[in-house]
Amino acid sequence: MVAQPSRQFMSIDEWRALERSSHDIKHEYIDGHVYAMAGGSRAHGRIGLNACAILADKLDNGPCNVYNSDVAARISPTRYTYPDATVTCDECDQATTDEREIQSSRVIIEVLSDTTEAYDRGENFALYRDCPTLQEYVLVATKYQVVEVYRRTSKGWTEYQVYGPYDEIELMSIGVNIPVAALYKRTTVQEIGNAPEGEV
């Protein structure tokens, strides 16, 4: 996401029209402002692709679907983002005629980069915590093989786990386990057992 929002206030219908006509750049919509999405590294793109492919395979025979960053996730009536991977298990998302959006995200995965890491950990996570259907928020590092999972509990977002290169991630809300190594397949991201503090 770019640092500054658009200066002109935009309605949701105007944003949707912009997205239909914009073939090269996607724009997130946050409370009336649009933010142009920047491209990522090869590792970023590959990890996102791996995540979607693994989840698509594991969810193939169930009620849940996974979508990549081409599909907007509605996280509130005035906020729409483009996560690297989003899982929804809501029947309404399968029945809707809107092919560009999902309404009920259960799991969101963001692949970190130098330009988005602070945002994904801070403001973006704050926005996602307000999404009532979201149960797990996953951050995947690109500096080394480390995955973090934040989980909503009955007491709020109180559960947190870190997984290294030889671990298996447990996504409890959808009953799926994913080897960390599988997310990093065909990348050059280093295998380090423990990330230095503050550098995940």
Total Cβ atoms within 10 A of residue 34:
22
E-assigned strand segments in 50-167: 65-68, 72-76, 79-81, 85-88, 101-102, 105-111, 136-140, 147-153, 156-163
Q: Which residue intervals of the chain are DSSP H helices?
A: 12-21, 42-58, 91-95, 117-121, 123-129, 180-183
The residue behind tokens 């029945």 is 95
The residue behind tokens 């920047």 is 38
pLDDT of residue 96: 67
Q: Which two tokens stand for residue 8?
A: 């002109």
Do residues 103 and 14 lie in contact, with contact meaning Cβ atoms separated by under 8 Å?
no
Q: Does domain 40-183 have CATH number 3.90.1570.10?
A: yes
pTM value? 0.90
CA angle 132, 139, 107 (to 5 degrees): 35
pLDDT of residue 1: 43
pLDDT of residue 2: 43
- For residues 156-178, average pLDDT: 97
The two most distant CA atoms of the chain are separated, in Å, by: 47
Where does CATH 3.90.1570.10 sit in the chain?
A: 40-183
